[in-house]
Amino acid sequence: MKNYSEKVETISKLLEERAAVFPVRDSSYERLSSELQFFAEELLAEVDFENYKYDEELIGAAMSLSGSPVFICGSMKSGTTLLCHLFDSHPDLLVMPGDSHFHNDLDKWDRTQFREIATYWVHRLANPSGQEPFWFFGQEEKTFKTFLAYLNYFLRNTDKSVFVCAVMSFYAVHAMLAGLSPKKHWVEKTPHNEDHARHLSRLFPKAKFIHVLRDPLNNIVSLRKLDSYRGWRGSALDHARVIRGLFRIARSNLEALGREKYLIVKYEDLTRDPSAVMQKICGFLNIPFDPILLTPTENSKPASSNSMFRSDRVKGEILDRGKSDRYRRELAPSELRDVVTTLYIDALKAGYDWETEEISQYKKRGFSYLLHRIVETLDSILFKMRSAAAK
């Protein structure tokens, strides 16, 4: 591509501008998207798809990997990104970047829409998460062209879904950069994957699911912070109701899919004792434990934490804030009463110690609690009806 280095330099500067205000999406986000659009179009114009020399052994290895996903589940801001970063450098895992929205995008594209699909993934390769590290597979022109060539091949010559074709193309690039080596699983992370776990299990009989739970009080604090950055409207009670549903789905999925396929872990355990939790996860996935699992990376480069609070943003390390009481500063007493009352029973069932006076004092009592329980019972009936319909 003509002036390739200059174009990469321009995009890199825009990536840094975007990261400086992350997760806000201002004009820097729009400029970056526009520049990446032109970049993708020029790359596509230069790949000789018809005469590209494909590696048959690599194609076979990619096809073998395609049916063995690990889906990471959990609320937004619950620690799912951290788990992805810890998985990143394990030799048996191929970790897809960022939030893939796999299930939601199952019908987004017709596989003949190659240019649109390719452009989307060029964006993802250059800017996986909105923060450093950028350029998921590096900045080399050959890397992008290899990815596009194999993406085109898999879309044209297999019946795999569009996303799985992208997974196999990622594997092709990885094999080119690091040498051909088999992977046991590919890893996909999207908040609320748990809503679709049973359908995903039918699509991928070998699939495994890891559901990350976080203490709802601090989870809601982070969600409210994200709301403020993005200009979204969401009350503490709204978030509490969503998280309550996710906690119940976690229990329901575990019962339906079984412990061989569905594992629940707590964010607090992961940050307090990462070695113990990652060893448990390795046993679940039947992969060997490796100390590399204790360092957050993105494509083997130190990964930035995804915290909504700048003071908690670290790179290449796990931040353990212990038993955080940030919720007491960020949520008003009335909000705490709504959240604690809504989630009290489900938090206890999940193993969170909410019976302490520090938290239980906010639980509604008397007539207000009775009214709350009536509403909650009706909500529970509706939840069971939705769960039955999803089976």
Domain boundaries, the chain: 4-312, 328-390
Contact 134, 128 (CB under 8 A): yes
Displacement of CA 90 from its chain's centroid (Å): 17
Residue 297 phi/psi, 5-degree rounding, is: -135, 165
Model pLDDT for residues 279-328, shown as the tens digit of each residue: 999 999 999 999 999 999 987 888 877 777 777 777 888 887 666 788 88
By the 10 Å C-beta count (0-12 exposed, 13-18 middle, 19+ buried), 233 is classed as: exposed
Model pLDDT for residues 159-180, shown as the tens digit of each residue: 999 999 999 999 999 988 888 7
- This model's pTM is above 0.85: yes
Model pLDDT for residues 89-107, shown as the tens digit of each residue: 999 999 998 787 888 777 7
CA angle 35, 41, 46 (to 5 degrees): 130
Could you tell me which CATH class the domain 4-312 is placed in? alpha beta
The helix (H) or strand (E) run that includes residue 108 is none
CA separation for the pair 324, 386 (Å, rounded): 34
Q: What pLDDT score was predicted for residue 171?
A: 94
Q: What are the angstrom distances between the C-alpha of 97 and each of 4, 147, 189, 224, 341?
A: 24, 14, 8, 24, 37
Residue ranges of the chain whose pLDDT lies below 70: 321-323, 366-369, 372, 376, 380, 383-384, 386-391
CA separation for the pair 301, 310 (Å, rounded): 20
Cα Dmax for the chain: 76
User: In 3D, which of 232, 165, 218, 198 has the Cα closest to residue 328?
Assistant: 218
